[in-house]
Structure 1
Amino acid sequence: MARRLGVIGGSGVSQVAGLEGAAEVTVDTPWGAPSGPVITGRIAGTEVAFLQRHGPGHPHSPTSVPYRANIDALKRLGCTEVLSLSACGSFREEMAPGDFVIVDQYIDRSFAREKSFFGPGCVAHVGLAHPTCARLSALAATAAEAAGVRVHRGGTYLVMEGPQFSTLAESRLYREVWGCDVIGMTNMPEAKLAREAELCYASVAMITDYDSWHEDHGAVEVTTILKVLGANAEAGSRLVGALAPALGAALSPHDPCPCGCDRALDHAIVTAPQARDPVLVAKLDAVAGRVLR
């Protein structure tokens, strides 16, 4: 099977430039409709599928994003890797607005979202010690540098529920006590679901602001964020343009992931075959068909 790069665009990222043969595809999933149509095409010969996380026109809040449907749709379309582009705030002076951070860890503080494809009738526990794919992340970092972006390789992303921004006390807690580097609202449960779907997942956090801790910048406001979003979106599009051909050149169609992302379910399902709910098993056809068939 040929490699296909799935790209999930966050706030401000409404398209991928240079997509040849672009076609709009509507995907039906057992988990409902994804955020919107998927745009498929090719960049330098590499297959790419692009999906707006919040949907065209941004109708979805961070809580209402149909994360399970989005990941299922990309898997169903044959994606082998998923690149997340998302706006975020920074807890570090050196990680400035306009910089990109290649996330390698998360603290998940979201609480109002469905976080797994599995559940009663088919229980699975995937490993998440390293929640992003190191190989894909390294390629993304190199692509960001090629796109002319200042890149930080590695960082811990605090996922908050939103939609409100942090209080000053929260911002100080996440920065000074918990040691987080960036904050956003959307990478969880997305990263967890990608792991359950055996997809290599990399997250590029595109910094728009300093949250509310920075005394010289004041509380974060949407108007401030919007000023940076446009430039970040253009840089993110250039990153994808550099990553797609690099991915095709670096990985063969049958190259296994050295991190084991593509084999995450090998020993994860604990429900005995005779005890599995056939209705749930049927819904897992794209996500877990490799181990359930």
Structure 2
Amino acid sequence: MAKVLTFNRGRVPLLISMPHPGTQLTPAVEAGMVAAGLELADTDWHIPRLYEFAAELGASTLAAEYSRYVIDLNRPADDKPLYTTATTGLYPETLFDGAPLYREGLTPSANERARYLAEIWTPYHQTIVDELARMKAEFGYALLFDAHSIRSLIPHLFEGRLPDLNLGTNAGASCDPSLAEALVATCGEARDYSHVLNGRFKGGHITRHYGQPEQHIHAVQLELSQRCYMEEAPPYPYVEDRAQQLQTVLRNLLQAMLSWGQQRYGR
């Protein structure tokens, strides 16, 4: 197995998790996929580049290297569905538009998938566990920001055009309400962007599982509309001027999160 993640430890109690920017495929997945799948259209394109500025804020960052088509790091290990609406599972077998991901009879074997769970999913989540524990031991609390992006129009998953900034807090269960209020207020100041709290995207497994505000671990997911920083058609290029404008908003969101923590916990 090649390198499965990139982790950089910061100096403040904020971890930015990026589970879906990876593009690496295993031989079994690549050999079985349909031609459309090889475009990796459902990737959270360029997310590590978009959040490069986070190092200046002192945040820790964690990014996956393998594609979500191999194993989805934002799904639980038991593959229990997170949404009642259309979605994909731990081992995706359809594209976001509902079309099959694999040619008939060519899905990876159960043994292959067990290896992906052990060698890709588990190290990513162990890194989250370890870093949140370190932050809590050092600061008394930890903040987790789960960073995602998606095409703005996917009729199979949601109606109409997706808002630009989609905050998710598991319907209020994954962080203190006052933190969610601070982030919504920050989005409201970004007048060029639409936003919603707990709309179509309420937070996946990472937000739901690790967000434990009663234990002083606060988790928030942000699902970005990709049209805000890139072109949504192959080869999915990064658009620098759009990205720079969006980075100002993202920086403000992360700073708001850190400021909230300092005010709440005094450090």
Q: Normalising by structure 1, report the TM-score.
A: 0.44
Which of the two has greater strand per residue? Answer: 1
Q: Normalising by structure 2, report the TM-score.
A: 0.47
Which structure has more RCO (C-alpha within 8 Å, separation ≥ 6)? 1
